[in-house]
Structure 1
Amino acid sequence: MASTVPSIERAARGVTSAPVLDFLRRPKRLLIGGKWVTAKSGKTFETINPANEEVLALVPEGDKADVDEAVKTARKAYEYGKWPTINPHQRAKYLLTIADLIEKHVDELAILETLNNGMAISLARGFTLMAADTFRYYAGWATKIYGETNPSDPSMFNYTLREPVGVCGQIIPWNGPIAMLAWKIAPALACGNVSILKPAEQTPLTALRIGELIMEADLPEGVVNIVTGYGETAGAAIASHPDIDKVAFTGSTEVGKLILQASSGNLKRVSLELGGKSPNIVFPDADLEDAVPTSLMGFCMLSGQVCCAGTRVFVQSDFHDRFVDHLTHYASKVKAGDPLDASTMVGPLVSKEQFNRVNGYIGTGKNEGAKTAIGGQVRTGKGFFVDPTIFTDVKNSMKIAREEIFGPVAAVIPFKDENDAVFQGNDTTYGLAAAVWTRDVSRAFRVARAIKAGTVWVNCYNNIDPISPFGGYKQSGIGRELGKHSLDLYTQIKSVYVKL
């Protein structure tokens, strides 16, 4: 049992929003079967504000017993409840109601997200609005999940049905909790599935608040369940549970591999959105006024804690020094600071563990012989802040260019020509995203086709829309979220033959 009693006044210093403070003061519970319940063990754990290291709330430490209860409830809702066979128009209305409630509470949810995650408040607000858009997008799909009529002999009528998969375990990360919740729950519900969501132990608060909004939307009991807890216990129980039909996970490649192994017991469906070491390729004809600040935010957005962050910045050799000068100049204007300040671009990292990890990689980069053009100093004082750090004299074989750092750290790497840029860009075990900066349209198309990544941005970065699929090549994942292709993750096809 956690012993620290949260001091809301200290943890949420500067927050005047009554709904936020009221939520923080309320006891936290698990959502199982339409009811808020304590963890069976009675245990709780602390969730903190990474900007000041104060405890925001005590959260139930759900484990295998709670997952078992959630699965039992979800199975009952799926097999005997009305959700899978409800009129699709009604299902769409439920999703639209959730979207409206999220949008209505956008300011409250954004503050909660910033308090718990550390992301800049402007980004938290954008992610919250994206979550509302995602629910609206999938509300439209609820009435458009078609089967097919197949050509057949006149004596036979052959058709297909797209049916829901069943009980879905959904494990989301700490780096974008609200957005990732929507990416998981919205398509699952649109297709008629039921969900058991496990938010990251570092950032459970907005998931619990959205759980309250889902209750307000009056979904049938057991359709959405939320179990907070640790990955090693609650998450592992979801991945291996024999009565869960599908698992969706966003997080590290290492944990994704463990989930894939754990799922083999009942051969449950698995979709994984994993890590990345994305190449951001800049040619000499790039528009510097756009490419430089956008590239900076490509590795600094959310303090670099983004799977698709453009942390390997490839610049053509004869343009390298000029670009680095400009990039360093822009970075010098960006300091990690109070994430609730509307002018802040970079907030703290999510945890002490992440703070130590990122600073460890910065030390490794220096030991490997890379030079820091800016940043690289360990900050002291309260909060897990790391200033933007840019390495030069980097080879693509160095550890800081091979491994995912998950902080506001970039390695600038020179390349000779287009072929070399593609070769080095693809020389990684990851393949989540990439970017190309050039005014040459033909070159842009060639490089976009040649790069092995699930998303390629041309003269932009980090553009994401629920309409377009998102996912990775190689060890960056399995399957695609968002867009119509995500329906394949949450439906299964049945062929029916009728003899006439």
Structure 2
Amino acid sequence: MTQYPSLHMIIDGQRVSGGGRRTHAVVNPATGETVGELSLAEAADLDRALDVAAQGFRIWRKSTPQQRAAVLQGAARLMLERQEDLARIATMEQGKTLPEARIEVMMNVGLFNFYAGEVQRLYGRTLVRPEGMRSTVTHEPVGPVAAFAPWNFPLGNPGRKLGAPIAAGCSVILKAAEETPASALGVLQCLLDAGLPRQVAQAVFGVPDEVSRHLLASPVIRKLSFTGSTVVGKHLMRLAADNCIRTTMELGGHGPVMVFADADIERTLDTVVPHKYRNAGQVCVSPTRFIVEESVFERFRDGFVERAKAIKVGNGMDDGVQMGPMANPRRPEAIDALIGDAVQRGARLHTGGQRLGNAGFYYAPSVLSDVPLDATIMNEEPFGPVALINPFRDEEAMVAEANRLPYGLAAYLWTNDAKRQQRLAAEVESGMVGVNTTMIGGADAPFGGVKWSGHGAEDGPEGVLACMVTKAVHEG
């Protein structure tokens, strides 16, 4: 069995902890027990990290594509070798099932290997000019990056935040979630063990508002990459504006799922129900608002409820478990309040709506139908194991509901009408659209949203270019 590791920060390649610093208790969501104590950064730690990041940028911006590729490929190999330990640590501190955590490791392996190839393709261009003149356009690393990662994907989010800046030639200060620090440290350690210079990547933890204000007030930081809630994202954008810091923001969502009568309903249910309850619904692209054509509404709702009731909930380490606990004690309380508000306003609760057990942060897979549009849960991202299923009369009404909210991260549509697929893919306001699939991500595909779901993209060539600036040089 993997033991939960000792916790620390990493600054200039050194493990930093203790010394009278404040601490944060890391809790296993399956049991509610404390598994580790994490030291939190003081101002002096952040200043040191900034100084080292400035040094790291001077070193790494001069690295060759071959050097960057070697580090990324080496880290991918190490993550593959360490897959089981990394996955078990993630499950211990975040709660997701062990199979899901293993997949998360493989997401990082694929992304790092893709970026290792992408560093060879950071092309500029030469412009057509009159004889005697030469104009070129090049891409250069933007500078030190402040990267903030949340707890819901404790391995994958740090992988995204570290991989793109390193591929681009930037240094990075990673502040991963204090709830899931060991996973992030494990990913960074793979990069360092693969030969990344110690000055290039740092990991700090602390009181989130203190860390963000301190880092974003520094002239060292040239780029902010944030994944998290829309409320916090807006706050960070205001802080970044003071120094005109570039931003990539992957914010909240409220995933609409349009289900039409011509869809294969059984296949649709077999696909969307496991995806809804993946990671206990704590996924920014989780399918949430099921917008169902009236003629198949009851069949879809009843099939959804039947499948939700059959989901096995338990400790993510145990064989056969399909959904683990929620990540912290705040989440079951939040879901209870949202479901209670919806029911009070007239929604029908078909299953779930309650916490499970006396230990840990378990919540039953839940299904609501006929949910009024003024219910809080229909307007704020629930981020939990609850599906909202409502009937709509026709395509026009369904598209209007899909676009009603200010969020636009991921949307899904299920129809076998080819013309409708193309029409709706264009009409739906979302950064990513899944047509008869929930697979909307990949190492080579941009991941990001529109409207209140943020701007910019991670993954794909776009993820590397987001950490670069464009320069035009004209020679006479």
TM-score where L is the length of structure 1:
0.93
**d(CA) in 2 for partners of 1:359, 1:397:** 17
Question: Does 2:31 align with 1:52?
Answer: yes
| Aligned counterpart, 1:8 | none
1:235, distance to aligned residue in structure 2 (A)? 3.2
1:380, distance to aligned residue in structure 2 (A)? 4.0
**d(CA) in 1 for partners of 2:223, 2:19:** 24
Q: Does the C-alpha gap of structure 1 residues 333 and 357 become closer, same or farther in structure 2, counting only changes over 3 Å?
A: same
Question: Does 2:121 align with 1:174?
Answer: no
| Aligned counterpart, 1:9 | none
| Aligned counterpart, 1:224 | 201
Structure 2 letter corresponding to 1:45:
H
Q: What count of residue pairs does the alignment treat as equivalent?
A: 476
**d(CA) in 2 for partners of 1:479, 1:151:** 30
Q: Tell whether the 8 Å contact from 2:371 to 2:390 is kept in structure 1 after alignment.
A: yes
1:186, distance to aligned residue in structure 2 (A)? 0.9
| Aligned counterpart, 1:190 | 167
Structure 2 letter corresponding to 1:213:
C
**d(CA) in 2 for partners of 1:391, 1:64:** 47
1:427, distance to aligned residue in structure 2 (A)? 0.4
Cα deviation per residue 1:356-405 (whole Å; 9 max; x = unaligned)? 11111111111121110111123340010111111011133321111111
Q: Percent identity?
A: 33
Q: Does the C-alpha gap of structure 1 residues 497 and 25 become closer, same or farther in structure 2, counting only changes over 3 Å?
A: closer
1:242, distance to aligned residue in structure 2 (A)? 2.8
| Aligned counterpart, 1:66 | 45
Task: Give the stretch that moved more between structures: 191-200 or 152-161.
Answer: 152-161
Unpaired segments ≥5 residues, structure 2: none
| Aligned counterpart, 1:397 | 374
1:40, distance to aligned residue in structure 2 (A)? 6.5
**d(CA) in 1 for partners of 2:88, 2:216:** 31
1:117, distance to aligned residue in structure 2 (A)? 0.5
**d(CA) in 2 for partners of 1:422, 1:241:** 44
1:308, distance to aligned residue in structure 2 (A)? 1.0
Q: Tell whether the 8 Å contact from 2:329 to 2:361 is kept in structure 1 after alignment.
A: yes
2:139 alignment partner, one of 137, 153, 162: 162
Question: Does 2:20 align with 1:37?
Answer: no
Structure 2 letter corresponding to 1:171:
F
Question: Does 2:202 align with 1:202?
Answer: no
Unpaired segments ≥5 residues, structure 1: 1-15
| Aligned counterpart, 1:122 | 99
1:241, distance to aligned residue in structure 2 (A)? 2.8
**d(CA) in 1 for partners of 2:239, 2:42:** 16
Question: Does 2:336 align with 1:359?
Answer: yes
| Aligned counterpart, 2:462 | 485
**d(CA) in 2 for partners of 1:206, 1:382:** 23
DSSP 3-state at the match of 1:413? strand
Q: Tell whether the 8 Å contact from 1:229 to 1:235 is kept in structure 2 after alignment.
A: no
Task: Give the stretch that moved more between structures: 187-196 or 336-345.
Answer: 336-345
**d(CA) in 1 for partners of 2:450, 2:281:** 21
Q: Tell whether the 8 Å contact from 1:53 to 1:383 is kept in structure 2 after alignment.
A: yes
| Aligned counterpart, 1:469 | 446
What root-mean-square deviation, in Å, do the aligned CA atoms of Structure 1 and Structure 2 show? Answer: 1.4
Q: Tell whether the 8 Å contact from 2:161 to 2:225 is kept in structure 1 after alignment.
A: yes
TM-score where L is the length of structure 2:
0.97
**d(CA) in 2 for partners of 1:63, 1:366:** 45
Deviation above 6 Å: which 4+ runs of structure 1?
none
Q: Tell whether the 8 Å contact from 2:46 to 2:204 is kept in structure 1 after alignment.
A: yes
Question: Does 2:190 align with 1:213?
Answer: yes
**d(CA) in 1 for partners of 2:335, 2:28:** 18
1:383 alignment partner, one of 357, 360, 365: 360
**d(CA) in 1 for partners of 2:201, 2:156:** 16
Q: Tell whether the 8 Å contact from 2:445 to 2:460 is kept in structure 1 after alignment.
A: yes
Q: Tell whether the 8 Å contact from 1:435 to 1:457 is kept in structure 2 after alignment.
A: yes
